[in-house]
Amino acid sequence: GVVTDGGRVLGVTALGVDFAEAKLNAYQAVKCVRWQGGWCRKDISDRARSYLTEG
């Protein structure tokens, strides 16, 4: 098995026809990854979204 000690453990990326679809696909993929005590931040994509719209 995998042993973690906090911090960022895994990165999930996905593709889509636009940002919204890519985000949806990434979070759908996250649902396939589970481990005891694991959790997922839902705000990570917000920074990327603001960069793309302000960029």
More confident residue, 1 or 21: 21
DSSP 13: -
Rg of the chain's alpha carbons, rounded to an integer?
A: 13
- Given a contact cutoff of 8 angstroms between Cβ atoms, the answer to whether 22 and 48 are in contact is no
For residue 25 the two structure tokens come to: 């696909």
Q: What is the pLDDT of residues 3-20, one digit of tens each?
A: 778 777 888 999 999 989
Q: What is the pLDDT of residues 22-55, one digit of tens each?
A: 999 999 999 998 877 888 888 888 887 888 777 5
- Parse the chain into domains and list their residue ranges: 19-54
Residue closest to 27 by CA, chosen among 38, 39, 12: 12
